[in-house]
Every structure is written in structure tokens, then in C-alpha cells.
Amino acid sequence: MTRPTPITTARRIFEERYPKAKVVLLAGSVIRGEGTAHSDLDLVVIYDELESAYRESFLFDGWPVEAFVHDPATLAYFTQQVDIPTGVPSLCHMVADGIAIGEESDLCLTLKRRAKALLDRGPDPLTDKEIDGLRYAISDQLDDLRAPRDHAEAVASATVLYGTLTNFWFRSQRQWSAKGKSIPRRV
């Protein structure tokens, strides 16, 4: 099946599913040119005001879609109080790097500037308690690797250790971290 382009699909989603939204940004692997045949379309959808933010997944024109639906206040909360403290600013990246679908309004430009400023600032330094927690997790995971019960347990332990080690290294360098499949790209 031939699918419409990501931008064509995002425009139709904006018009049909979110017609009252003020901003729709298309983000993720497809706009970075890294998409695969199974990649989804990541959308950040901004309304003037919402009762609460939400995330929804659906299929549209043959594309799987992940929509992160916010207003400016919930976007600020999720970027500053949820993403930034974890050291993995996924939503900030989607807003800063996203392609505006439709007019790039003043609101859109303001939100993109704020996201870029947060990214440029970098993460807060790790506290002594966070450093101790990460060191403990690394030591504990290394202990699991010393004497695994079987190969599957060793692979599982190494997988967890990989994420913990890379997060520790990035964060100890006051750099943004990553999770899962984003780690190799970040490294």
C-alpha cells in the first residue's frame, strides 16, 4: 500500500481531527529522514486551552500516529516538570525540531523558542543523591552479570545496564540523555 507523504497526512489530520488546534507540529524520525517502513508520525498538537493534556495513538492513511495534545500551560508543565528532570527531553525536542503544519504562527514560534532555550540550557547537574542512586544501580546490575542463571538473564541484565550506564555518563557530563532506541543516536 502506498501512503501519502508524512506532511500530507499531517495536514489532513490537522484539518479532520484537530481543526480547532492552534499549532500542529510533525516531529520524530520521519522528519529527520530516519524513518522506516514501520515508523509512526509524531504530532504535537496545541490548543489555546484544554482541561488536561493527553496522548493518543491511531491509524490514519496507513500511518500509525502518536499525538501529544497540549495547551501552552500543560506543554510547559510536561517539558519543565516531567521531561527536563529525567534528563530525557523528548517533548522539548519534538517542539523545537518539529515542522509546523499550516501557518507558523506567533504561538508556534514562541513555543519553539522556549523549547530550544530549555534544550540549550542543558539538564540540571545531578545531585549527590542521584549520583549515589545511579552508582548503586550500576553496581547492582554488574552483580547480576557476574553470575547469571542463564544466557537470557545475562542479556536482560546487560540491556538494563546499557541504559543505566549511558544515562549516568550523559548526565554526569551535564548533557541530555536518551532512552531505548535513541541511545545509539545520542552516543
pTM for this predicted structure = 0.90
The pLDDT tens digits of the residues spanning 81-99 come to: 998 899 999 999 999 999 9
**DSSP single-letter state for residue 71:** -
The pLDDT tens digits of the residues spanning 14-24 come to: 999 999 999 99
Reference 23, options 117, 99, 82; nearest CA is 99
